[in-house]
Structure 1
């Protein structure tokens, strides 16, 4: 599986093409999936869960709407590191919509790593944070056969993991940076797989750009 991920990322890195996408949650109560598809979007990442107690109330509606519009889609989990184990949160995510199947239209799940309120690094040391992420990633892999994508920004990754390069060969990077270019990539990744380049997308949610062709995107969804 590591070699498969590496091949996908290598293809994405060398490709000149990009694919528009977006991500959404219940904050987007109405999403124009068909309009997004007509405008060129081909994928959407949908919030499914947080921690081990919260499920996004719009997940099923969004997932069905995205599927009906022909979009490649997947779920994401907003991490609460340290509140419960990484393995427990991976299980919760998988049980509530974040699983993966090799149908060619389902992205591997995404682990959303960022601060919330005053919990900059959720009270964890850098080594404990890396261990927590690894526990989530390993459990997700053992249950689905895929490693999750990791969503983060350079500041958080540097502060909270010590700019760890532990996930370069396994987990695709989803980089959050609202700018005209991705900029410096954290964590030893040579490039991002997906770049969240704006917190505003015309058809709903945040704008995401896949670093590769549509064929590369389909390979990411296929495994």
Structure 2
């Protein structure tokens, strides 16, 4: 890492509150305590690294990784971001957001309801996500909890189908057992909402924990975690293409204090709206 990149990274990190930074570090450094999972949290578990696979960010003067793209820009948030001014977020050009709703079958993010409503009122297309804990209960049980606590879908043009956040280690499951758990979640969620679940994961997690399974690519749009300023991300085996791309955890957006994950969509705004509305 160059001195300039290091300085920019340190300056950006300093804007995050000490309590929030400490909690995020705890989640990333080992096993993830219940309630502390978020998109990008699960880097080291079971003695393996599950980091997004290309961590060679080329930061600008403000320490922000920004691929030169024209497709819709997005973010993903949880209670770690604190109070968010969604009107400012929308004015900054953010068109969509993934918002943490639930984890396992007992935890609901304390800021979910406010974020979900305020994003809607600001006309930001948003979707809820569930942080998977395959070690604690079945996929069907967690899908049922998610659908009943923020993960439902409505054809209002501003609601994306729910997303399953898969990271944080293999939770002691074999690749076949993990495949079964994911399919169980998918089947139950679709039965309750009528929509295919989005899948968020990194190449390293999917390839290690499912064996590069191809069983979901025709069912679930891929949200790939791959932190790089390359023209396109690396994707897991078993998926021929990506739909959303989380390209950095070191972004900055007006209306949010501190760092935030930045995302982009793979097509134009009309296709984003079509995905929200479940139309061809």
Q: Do the two structures share a fold, i.e. TM-score over 0.5?
A: yes
- Give 1:199's aligned residue: 249
Give, in angstroms, the shift of residue 40 of structure 1. Answer: 1.4
1:74 aligns with 2:123: no
* Gaps in structure 1 of 5+ consecutive residues: 1-15
Aligned to 1:60: 113
The DSSP-based 3-state class of the residue aligned with 2:262 is strand
Offset of 1:136 from its aligned partner?
0.2
Cα deviation for residue 186 of structure 1 reads: 1.1
Residue correspondence of structure 1 range 50-129 to structure 2 within 5 A: 50-115=103-168, 120-129=169-178
Question: Per-residue displacement from partner, 1:134-175 (whole Å, max 9, x unpaired)?
Answer: 000010011111111000000000100001010111100000
Distance 1:104 1:206 in 2: 23
Aligned counterparts of 2:99 and 2:165: Cα–Cα separation in 1: 11
How has the CA–CA distance of structure 1 residues 44 and 183 changed in structure 2, closer, same or farther, with 3 Å as cutoff? closer
What is the root-mean-square deviation of aligned Cα atoms in Å?
1.3
Structure 1 length-normalised TM: 0.88
Q: Partner of 1:208 in structure 2?
A: 263
Q: C-alpha distance in 2, partners of 1:147/1:75?
A: 13
CA deviations 1:25-79 (Å, max 9, x no partner) are: 0001122322221121111110000001101000001111111111011100000
**Equivalent residues of 1:140, 1:146 under 8 A apart:** yes
- Equivalent in the alignment of 1:221: 276
Misfit runs of 4+, over 4 Å: none
Q: Distance in 2 between matches of 1:200 and 1:109?
A: 24
Larger CA deviation: 185-194 vs 134-143: 185-194
Q: TM-score, normalised by structure 2?
A: 0.71
